[in-house]
Structure 1
Amino acid sequence: MPYSTSAPTLGVGMVGYAFMGAAHSQGWRTVGRAFDLPLSPVMAAVCGRDQAAVNAAADRLGWASAETDWRALIARDDIQLVDICSPGDSHAEIAIAALEAGKHVLCEKPLANTVAEAEAMVAAATAARARGQLAMVGFNYRRVPALAQARKMIAEGRIGTLRHVRAVYLQDWGADPELKLVWRLRKETAGSGALGDLGAHVVDLAQHLSGELITGISGTAETFVKERELPDGSGRLGQVTVDDAALFTGRLASGALASFEVSRFATGRKNALRIELNGSDGSLAFDLERLNELEFYDNTQPATEGGFRRILVTEPDHPYLEGWWPAGHGLGYEHTFAHQARDLVLAIAEGTDPEPSFVDGLQVQRVLSAIEESAAKNAVHTPVQTVE
């Protein structure tokens, strides 16, 4: 339903309604009630292949109507923005068609399953930009207020010359022995496993926070469980064709070193993302399990006063906090999607280029591809010769 506002409306159509679709729906439901926007988002339609399921999702998530064909959704005159939350193998086709139809596009990360697909999406976005359509990729962790504050501090030189970036993103749902061969475990639909799902986030954050691109990479990956039961109830097994975990190191443009670990088999870790940046004048660290906080070490202070200190990122002057609660009242994961929607709506209203762009998504895709290539070369296990 449209909000009670005199602002012009922005019709939104969303493709996909599972976990990420629910998260994006939360953002669209909330954004106009938390922030004073020049356009009023209207949740016009959600799209999915199963009529009964998508109708139920529309009712549950707050969409005015439902479609079973994304082409029909794109063709609707009441939709100006297409939000893509479907599996990665569909991103390129839907995004390119939406842009060519004159729609703005928000596409979940990773941008595509391959570099070639991402390049085609960038070309379509570039052509559409000349016609006034905007395209953005959904790296929602950029919109955590503490991480936005960290980027601001780094840009201001608070940690000096960057030396190290280290990031981990760990989950454990893959360790479930009863897990079926869902789409996320198939390369043809997901593109890659933990690398694309979790690695895309930490690669983007490393580049976004540092303001630098990754220029070199070396990686290794492993699939711990090679076969899973098919989800059709037949009892038959199918091959897992993506990675379960990956380790990789890199170098940033300045020469700073970076290390990364991503896994779906880190038993006990549910959604553990941590990133730390060390510089000549200080360090910043963030832990998603304490997402309203930053750790900051100021190396310019006397050693007698040294130590990491906690910054509670809940003040009205902190990024995005003007729309929420009094200081000290924390935000959560779901707020990042309202912030994402806010930034895109403002960009559309102002005609400015949103971030992260499809070009940013392509850069991440190229890094992921380089990691896959490196991991494939490192896949041969050479026994270490012991010296007697």
Structure 2
Amino acid sequence: MTDARTDLGIGMVGYAFMGAAHSQAWRTAPAFFDLPLHPRMAAICGRNEDAAGQVALRFGWESVETDWRSLLTRDDIQVIDICTPGDTHAEIAIEALKAGKHVLCEKPLANTVAEAEAMAAAAADAAKNGVRAMVGFTYRRTPAVALAQRLVAEGRLGTIRHVRAQYLQDWLTDENAPLNWRLDKDKAGSGALGDIGAHIIDMAQFVTGSQIASVSGLMETFVKTRPIAGDHATLGGSSSSDAERGPVTVDDAAVFTARFVDGAIGVFEATRFATGRKNALRLEVNGSKGSLAFDFEDMNVLEFFDRTEDPAISGFRRIIVTEASHPYIAAWWPPGHGLGYEHGFTHQVVDFVNDIAAGNDPVPSFADGLAVQRVLDAVAASADDGKTHPTGA
């Protein structure tokens, strides 16, 4: 029997890919971590009641709603978790914050800078009344990435000089893979740039502790039309060469160079056309005293080079990030037993619940999400006019 005084009622909007990942996190976090509040999966919301109901049954949501506004009127719900396409983020988040609900919103924060600015302003106003908001850049919560940030913050790399960041996927390499909402600018805002480029922008800024000041970008759409498969198929989908085709209105790949506020320079690449790469999110940071490198396809490992060591025996060391002293690991398995993709979402829940209970402003905040949105906007503007664009950082 749950003590009602410690319950934190969760209302989640969306039930597809991210909905499943978030559902797993809400269900798992209290089983492994000693949380000050108990997340109760009060309601899942989706326009398709049958589909949402199936997800509710699978993951243990107590009820189903078909209108997200209904969640805002329920006294048993204190948190709104937004797992919908980007075109809906601003309206849901702003109204939820006005209703006094804490908000967790998937990345990118919004589809435009104006929307992100409005969301950040609403979050700042809500924080005055103890209402918290966080944007879901879950790769920050991969233990190896959190360790990388710690090493940089401790000065182990010295002055940061170079950053190289890539997010490589291949799920669109088949030109007959069907259209889905991620290929529709009205729903997604942008393509590879916003979908996966946002992650490497946030990770680079998180690990280095420095903001991107200016960018010079290039974007390309390799396949201009794709088969229409019903109501825009979900991520992936089957190929069809003879179906009616519709326009792809977002980028397939984006590359850009960047200058950081602290003087470092960076090279960024986001593509869904890197044949053979499934989820290769990579970051390398070079400093005056050392370097580090991370690849999510080997996510339990961080490579670290210490330039201050004896050159005769120095080299990149391969750190298996599974010790209890590493970030988040103590709650899980014995050393050497690696974690997976879903654990970042669980760690996100843990941090968010702890911040709500402690009255702390969570990170990454909506202001952090806005900072990423400004970089995305500057890259798109640069790709359009061929000029270097400042981000306002």
TM over 0.5: yes
Other-structure match for 2:315: 307
Other-structure match for 1:386: none
Aligned partner letter, 2:334 = P
Other-structure match for 2:260: 252
* Aligned pairs for 1:220-259 within 5 A: 220-232=218-230, 235-259=243-267
Hey, what's the Cα distance between the residues in 2 that align with 1:152 and 1:136? Answer: 21
* Aligned pairs for 1:51-200 within 5 A: 51-200=49-198
Other-structure match for 1:35: 33
Hey, what's the Cα distance between the residues in 1 that align with 2:72 and 2:277? Answer: 39
Hey, what's the Cα distance between the residues in 2 that align with 1:50 and 1:176? Answer: 29
Other-structure match for 1:292: 300
Structure 1: where are the runs of 5+ without partners?
Answer: 380-388
Shift of 1:5: 6.7
Other-structure match for 1:25: 23
Hey, what's the Cα distance between the residues in 1 that align with 2:55 and 2:335? Answer: 35
Other-structure match for 2:386: 378
Other-structure match for 2:335: 327
Aligned partner letter, 2:51 = A
Hey, what's the Cα distance between the residues in 2 that align with 1:51 and 1:345? Answer: 28
- 1:68-117 CA distance string (max 9 Å, x none): 00001221111000000000000000000100011000000000000000
2:11 alignment partner, SS class: strand
Aligned partner letter, 1:319 = P
Runs of 4+ in 1 over 6 A off after TM superposition: none
Hey, what's the Cα distance between the residues in 2 that align with 1:6 and 1:65? Answer: 17
Other-structure match for 1:346: 354
TM-score (normalizing by structure 1):
0.95
Is the 1:7–1:38 Cα contact (8 Å) retained in structure 2? no
Hey, what's the Cα distance between the residues in 2 that align with 1:161 and 1:315? Answer: 28
Aligned partner letter, 1:88 = G
Shift of 1:284: 0.5
The correspondence for 1:355, drawn from 353, 363, 367, is 363
Once the two structures are aligned, what percentage of the paired residues are identical? Answer: 62
Aligned partner letter, 1:174 = L
Hey, what's the Cα distance between the residues in 1 that align with 2:141 and 2:94? Answer: 25
Shift of 1:6: 8.2
Hey, what's the Cα distance between the residues in 2 that align with 1:127 and 1:59? Answer: 36
2:36 alignment partner, SS class: coil
Hey, what's the Cα distance between the residues in 1 that align with 2:243 and 2:273? Answer: 23
Shift of 1:263: 0.4
TM-score (normalizing by structure 2):
0.94
Is the 1:158–1:281 Cα contact (8 Å) retained in structure 2? yes
Other-structure match for 2:201: 203
Structure 2: where are the runs of 5+ without partners?
Answer: 232-241, 388-393
| 1:283 maps to 2:281 | no
